[in-house]
Amino acid sequence: MTELSLADTAETVRRTTAGELTAVTAVEESLARIAALDPGLNAFSRVLADEARAEAAARDEHLAAGGAPGPLHGVPIAIKEEVDVAGTVTTFGGEANETPAAADAEIVRRLRDAGAVIIGKTTMPEFGAFPYTESTSRGITRNPWDRSRTPGGSSGGTAVAVATGMVPAAIGGDGGGSIRIPSACCGLFGLKPQRGRVTTAPHPHLWWALGTAGPLTRTVRDSALVYDVIRGNTEGDLYHAGGTESFVEAATREPGRLRIGWTTQPVTRGVRPDPIHVRAVEDTARLLGDLGHEVREVDPHYPDPTAAFVPQFFAGIRTEADEVEHFDRLERRTRETYRLGSWVTPRVRDWALRETEKVSAKANRVFGEVDVLLTPAIAHRPPRVGRLDGVGTVRASLRAMPAIAYAALWNVAGNPAAAVPCGTGPDGLPVAIQLVGRTDDEATLFSLSAQVEQARPWPTWVGDR
């Protein structure tokens, strides 16, 4: 990696606003890395080279004319396929749409207003249905740490683009772990925000109560920086979060002495965490104790989220599938999933939403005794690619269980939760833990994650292995 490609978002902004680096140079470096690395990794479904060069030139002209730089001035950023970017087709990871979006999604508009340059769209499995970035249309996206392994999903292309330095930051989405799972597989920091923290406009929701968009980054500070740009609601949003504290400010302050409970008990019965992940939680618990926190093992008494999660999963996919231009072009497994979800009528969906409130109340009881919950991020090591080859909806769902075993509950509950890197395992692949916060309390997670990052810096990908 070159010196420039090693620069994170905050450092790129410092250079572009200080005149040490032009936005055009930052974009050309990003495009060069995409051209060099992506053919073997498949992070991007579309690269907007000409559009990005023009946008970067406009950023430079604005600054040269005395204009004020935005908080993301000149930063190349990639966008997951499910998010609208004006002039490109919102594919949802497949071939069922062909008309380009007329306008940017609200979060893309906010990124541009902050000075970011949109450089392309990243791969995902169709509709983000499963936590492995593989599809008939897009093929297989590979983990740069070991190309025989998956980067996770569904924001797998986003994770690979950031992990390899193709871009300093990129936007993903999380409806059952899809920010945290690929972050854990690729050695990134990925925080799922509180439900309703980030607008879903032009759509009123993302998989009803389950989903939210957010960045994957190489540092805690970068995540906070991007979130402070994209957070906030519009009138049409179905969900709204509380609290106004700057996440950048939170990431730069000490967290204070926290009560931290840890557990390796999975939410999903029958799933056993890999011993590498168990050790990671135990090692992190010791580190947090050494940092002055009150740390103890707890039993979270997890509620079963299945009755709330499954109907919304089906309803989310059916809602998106109903809106595509060519239903017949959807993948066979997607059409099977659509059929299997026919029992989720609006009445069933609304019942599941009421169950969501009950699950959230039960899940949040643990925060009566702790401030933060520490768990594994995923149960398995990143599996070999081809995880979804030749399997239907039911088998794909079973194969997804180890990936979502610790993550999906917090989509139902709505709480913020972050995948935090903690080194690499004996297999050479990244290891991560999950930190879960109280409702509306991303700030504590940013403060604590930054403290962990400083005390135990995590490795970054440095080239083919």
Residue position matching structure tokens 């833990």:
433
Residue 4 has pLDDT above 70, yes or no: no
Q: Is the pLDDT of residue 271 over 90?
A: yes
**Distance between CA 176 and CA 192 in Å, rounded?**
10
Nearest-angstrom CA–CA distance, 179 and 175: 8
Model pLDDT, residue 1: 43
In a domain, 462, yes or no: no
CB 149 within 8 A of CB 131: no
Give the residue from 169, 167, 80 showing the smallest Cα distance to 121: 80
Cα separation, 415 vs 375, whole angstroms:
14
Q: Is residue 463 part of a domain?
A: no
Tell me the per-residue pLDDT of 325-352, one tens digit each, with 9 for 90 and over: 999 999 999 999 999 999 999 999 999 9
30: tokens are 């990003």
Give the percent of the chain with pLDDT over 90: 97
Q: Is 30 a catalytic residue?
A: no
In a domain, 460, yes or no: no
Contact between 5 and 144 (Cβ < 8 Å):
no
Provide DSSP, 367-399.
GGT-SEEEEES-SS--PBS-TTTT--HHHHHHH
The active-site residue out of 30, 80, 360, 447 is: 80
Dump pLDDT digits (tens) for 49-101: 999 999 999 999 999 999 999 999 999 999 999 999 999 999 999 999 999 99
**What is the β-pairing status of strands 76-80 and 372-376?**
unpaired
Q: Please indicate, yes or no, if residue 141 is contained in any of the structural domains.
A: yes
Share of the chain above pLDDT 70, in %: 98
Range of the domain at 421: 3-455
Q: Is 80 a catalytic residue?
A: yes
Q: What is the pLDDT of residue 222?
A: 98
Catalytic residue status for 148: no
* Amino acid, res. 62: H
Query: How many Å apart are CA 172 and CA 163, to the nearest integer?
Result: 13
CATH number at residue 353: 3.90.1300.10
Residue 274 lies in a domain: yes
Of 178, 183, 447, 449, catalytic? 178
Q: Give yes or no for residue 151 having a pLDDT over 50.
A: yes
Q: Please state, rounded to an integer, the average pLDDT across all residues of the chain.
A: 96
Q: Which tens digits make up the pLDDT trace of 231-243? A: 999 999 999 999 9
Please enumerate in sequence order all residues whose Cβ is within 8 A of that of 197, keeping only pairs 6 or more positions apart, or say none: 212, 227, 231, 241, 416, 442
Give 171's strand partners.
79, 215
Average the pLDDT over 117-140 and give the result.
96
Q: Which of 45, 135, 154, 360 is catalytic?
A: 154
In a domain, 396, yes or no: yes
Q: Return the pLDDT at 272.
A: 96
347 within a domain of the structure (yes/no): yes
**Which uninterrupted H or E stretch holds 465?**
none
- pLDDT tens profile 352-407: 999 999 999 999 999 999 999 999 999 999 999 999 999 999 999 999 999 999 99
The pair of structure tokens assigned to 325 is: 């231009």
Each residue of 201-247: pLDDT tens digit?
A: 999 999 999 999 999 999 999 999 999 999 999 999 999 999 999 99
pLDDT of residue 269: 87
Cβ(255)–Cβ(447) below 8 Å: yes
pLDDT at 6 over 80: no
| Rounded CA separation 64/230 (Å) | 26
Count CA atoms closer than 13 A to 78's CA, side-chain side: 35
Q: Identify the pLDDT of residue 5.
A: 59
Question: Considering its fold, how many domains does the chain have in total?
Answer: 1
pLDDT at 283: 98
Q: Does the structure show a pLDDT above 60 at 465?
A: no
Q: Is the dihedral of CA 246, 257, 300, 431 positive or negative?
A: positive
pLDDT band for 146, please (50, 70, 90 cuts): very high
343, part of any domain: yes
